[in-house]
Amino acid sequence: MEAIFLDQFAFFTQNPHFVVAVFSDGLMEVSQKINGAILHIMQVKMKHLMPVIMQGQQQGFFTNAITTEELIHIVMGSFRLQMFKWRIANFQFDLHRQGTSMLQAILTLIKN
């Protein structure tokens, strides 16, 4: 799970324009094509996260107190909030450092 998110933080650090596009006001409401592309990205991310979280739950590493789908929403929502904070801070903080800290907090919360 860490590798998935560290890779994403590295990608967005190299390509902050993708974050700008996703968080542009009104952009998603205007274009069905953009909505479809963002939905596709979310589905791909969920496809990669699902087996990782599921396996972690089956092996007793992650909590079973909530469903796999709920854990995915928590994880993805936290990631999205982190990216939004970076965007509104005009990319002025170290995304890798802040993202790693956020990821460790999430892992602490969902560990069994």
- pLDDT, averaged per 10 consecutive residues of the chain (112 residues), comes to 89 88 61 75 86 96 95 92 92 95 96 93
The per-residue pLDDT for 22 is: 67
Model pLDDT for residues 64-82, shown as the tens digit of each residue: 999 999 999 999 999 989 9
DSSP 93: S
Q: What is the pTM of this model?
A: 0.82
Helices marked H in the chain: 2-14, 16-22, 27-30, 32-58, 68-88, 95-110
CB 112, CB 61: distance < 8 Å = yes
Whats the size of the chain, residue-wise?
112
Which contacts (CB < 8 Å, 24+ apart) does range 36-44 have?
Answer: 42/76
Residue 19 and residue 32: Cα distance in Å, rounded?
Answer: 18
